[in-house]
Amino acid sequence: MSKSAARARLAEIIRKRSFGRGEITLASGRKSDFYFNLKPTMLDPEGAALLAELTYEALKDDNLDFVGGLEMGAVPLAGAIAQLSWIKGHPIAAFFVRKKPKEHGARLAVEGLAKGETLQGKRIVIVEDVTTTGGSALKAVEAVREAGGEIVLVLTMVDREEGATEAFAEAGLEFRSLYKAGEFLKG
């Protein structure tokens, strides 16, 4: 399947499984008359495969060591990208950042690293399913920077186009998206 065909098919899946209309309160606290819940797409076999493929293609030339982001949205994405990157012979390891460290066990903020493994000096992309203001991704950025990682860019599946571009620019971070909310709002 060509990249444009894969992108069009994934948009269909997102529209059917993950996009809706109706008043909702977003993670940012804002009210909206439309929403994206990408989990049904990320956990659908075809949706997961297409997200991984398009994301991998968008990232393969960035010389990355790790892909990760804030739980919960980044977990299925990071895992799928890591798996596909191995299959493609260009491995990119995955991790995720807890919203708050567990109060038992190792009490880690960053999960998925083997004993003795660190993000120190590693090139990292933060992934997110849906981005509104960028606040959630910036929490992950902060945790990764505290762990010594170098943030190469932030990549979201859907940019709601409500301030994230400006927030990331202000933070000096490159920001890319697979889709913009406007693509789903027309029609």
Spell out the domains of the chain, with CATH numbers in brackets.
3-185 (3.40.50.2020)
Task: For residue 104, say whether it is annotated as part of any ligand binding site.
Answer: yes
Task: For residue 7, say whether it is annotated as part of any ligand binding site.
Answer: no
For residue 68, pLDDT beyond 90: yes
For residue 106, pLDDT beyond 60: no
Burial 72-104 (b: 16+ CB within 10 A, else e): ebbbbbbbbbbebbeeeeeebbbbbbbeeeeee
Nearest-angstrom CA–CA distance, 116 and 97: 17
Task: For residue 55, say whether it is annotated as part of any ligand binding site.
Answer: no
Using DSSP, state whether 125 is helix, strand or coil.
Answer: strand
pLDDT of residue 59: 93
Task: For residue 162, say whether it is annotated as part of any ligand binding site.
Answer: no
pLDDT cut 90: percent of the chain above it: 75
pLDDT of residue 183: 94
Task: For residue 128, say whether it is annotated as part of any ligand binding site.
Answer: yes
Task: For residue 135, say whether it is annotated as part of any ligand binding site.
Answer: yes
Task: For residue 134, say whether it is annotated as part of any ligand binding site.
Answer: yes
Task: For residue 111, say whether it is annotated as part of any ligand binding site.
Answer: no
User: pLDDT tens-digit profile of 128-174?
Assistant: 999 988 988 998 999 899 999 999 999 999 999 999 999 999 999 99
What is the pTM assigned to this prediction?
0.91
Higher pLDDT residue, 30 or 89?
A: 89
pLDDT of residue 108: 57
Nearest-angstrom CA–CA distance, 18 and 36: 5
pLDDT of residue 70: 86
Q: How confident is the model at residue 105 (pLDDT cuts 50, 70, 90)?
A: low
